[in-house]
Amino acid sequence: MPTPEEVTFGPLLFWSIGMMVVAAGCLLMFLFTYQKRLLQQQLRLRTAEAAHQQALLAAIIEAQEGERERIGQDLHDGIGSTIATAKLLVNRLSSQPTPENSAELLALVEELMAAAVHDARSISHSLYPAVLARFGLAEALQHLVDVCNETGALAIELELDYTEPLALAQELALYRICQELIHNALKHAKGASCLQVQLLQHGPQLTLEVADDGCGFPAAPVPAPTGAGLRNIDVRVQMLGAHLQQHSAPGQGSRFVIQLKAPA
């Protein structure tokens, strides 16, 4: 005959085993639900990353096509028209034995050919700045600023504190960004008296800043870049994994700050 302790212990044992089975079932259900949600989240992240990469690739292609179009227009409107004019003058010289103003025509042809050579060098430099590959980003920016200052359109001041060079691809992207920002300032900063360019390095943090004291522009209601130049800048900023800040207001100039953390 079972003792009272055995009668009491039996149902308690079955109840405990039942609770353990229920708890194990709940744990398995929780793990299954958590794994399912985790897989769904990873799938959403991969889908978003694929869409971002596709959009970035489309933007890169658009930027490249814009660059090709601008180079083609420069070749047609600059070098093409200059050489065509020089050809007409040469034909005029060859059509007459000794034109009265032959010396003036020859001088004009020399002047046109010198201008064509200068334009060809400018386009070649815009395609790939040789000084960047030879001497680095700091010297390339100094050369860019010196060339722009020679035009007399706008005084440009350059401040450099760049002691730890980046990889050539990163330096080229930063150079293109600075080149585009300077070009935009020369074109759109009405009433500006000075353009300041800074390339400063503090530890792993690298900052490129281009600021003018021109007319400025209203803050865009949507942070999406407008215009081919700003789209090109945005694409290169994304490729660098950098961060772009844009500050501007009517009558207060504009300032662009690109911050990049250099890889160890």
- How far apart CA 108 and CA 47 sit, in angstroms, is 62
pLDDT the model gives residue 222: 38
Name the DSSP class of 80: I
pLDDT the model gives residue 8: 62
- Same domain for 49 and 165: no
Whole domain around residue 247: which residue ranges? Answer: 136-264
Name the DSSP class of 225: -
Structural domains in the chain (count): 2
- Same domain for 193 and 120: no
pLDDT the model gives residue 243: 92
Express each pLDDT in 39-82 by its tens digit. Answer: 888 888 888 877 767 766 666 666 666 667 777 777 777 788 88
Where among 127, 152, 176 does a domain terminate? 127
- Same domain for 66 and 18: yes
- Same domain for 248 and 231: yes
pLDDT the model gives residue 200: 94
List, in order, residues 6 or more apart from 173 with CB less than 8 Å away: 236, 239, 240
| CB under 8 A, 24+ apart: contacts of 169-176 | 170/240, 170/260, 171/132, 171/136, 171/137, 171/140, 172/132, 173/236, 173/239, 173/240, 174/137, 174/199, 174/208, 174/240, 174/258, 174/260, 175/129, 175/132, 175/137, 175/140, 175/141, 175/144, 176/232, 176/236
Identify the residue whose tokens are 């050579």: 117
Q: Which residues pair with 245 in a beta bridge?
A: 257
122 is written with which tokens? 């400018």
- The CATH number that applies at residue 167 is 3.30.565.10
pLDDT the model gives residue 223: 41
156 is written with which tokens? 């440009």
- Same domain for 199 and 175: yes
In this prediction, the residues of the chain whose per-residue pLDDT falls under 70 are: 1-10, 52, 55-67, 96-99, 124-128, 218-228, 263-264
pLDDT the model gives residue 212: 92
- Same domain for 147 and 82: no
Q: Find, among 50, 219, 198, 215, the residue nearest to 137 by Cα.
A: 198
In terms of DSSP H, where are the helices of the chain? 4-74, 81-95, 102-127, 130-135, 137-151, 168-188, 228-240
- Same domain for 83 and 15: yes
- Same domain for 194 and 116: no
Q: Yes or no: say if 83 and 120 are a contact pair by the CB < 8 Å rule.
A: no
- Same domain for 122 and 180: no
